[in-house]
Amino acid sequence: MDAFVSVLAGIVSAVGSLFGVFTLPGWFEDLGPMLDEVTGWAAGLGRWVPVASAVNAVSLVGAAIGIALVIRVVRIILSLFTGGGGSAS
């Protein structure tokens, strides 16, 4: 996590250097340890919050939306071949 934050800070610093004098705030450079602390606090929530069930539910909803989107796109494409007779809009 610290490596990701360091790379992100380097990218932001490089982009900021294109616009003149720019320094990152101290809290942004120390974001890695703060995120580690927050994830440490949340580590014990698995007993109280059914994370596995929530992940399954969100995955199921995402899959349903994806399937519905594919069906809609296929219907729209097929309506182009029928001359608009089977419009899906």
Phi (first) and psi of residue 85, to 5 degrees: -65, -30
More reliable by pLDDT, 6 or 19: 6
Per-residue pLDDT tens digits for 43-69: 777 778 787 788 899 999 999 999 999
Which pTM was predicted? 0.44
35 Cβ contact partners less than 8 Å away, ≥ 6 residues apart: 1, 5
89 Cβ contact partners less than 8 Å away, ≥ 6 residues apart: 76, 79
**Neighbour tally for 12: CB within 10 Å:** 13
- Residue 88 and residue 76 in contact, taking contact as beta carbons nearer than 8 Å: yes
Distance CA 55, CA 58 (A): 5
Domain locations in the chain as residue ranges: 1-48, 50-89
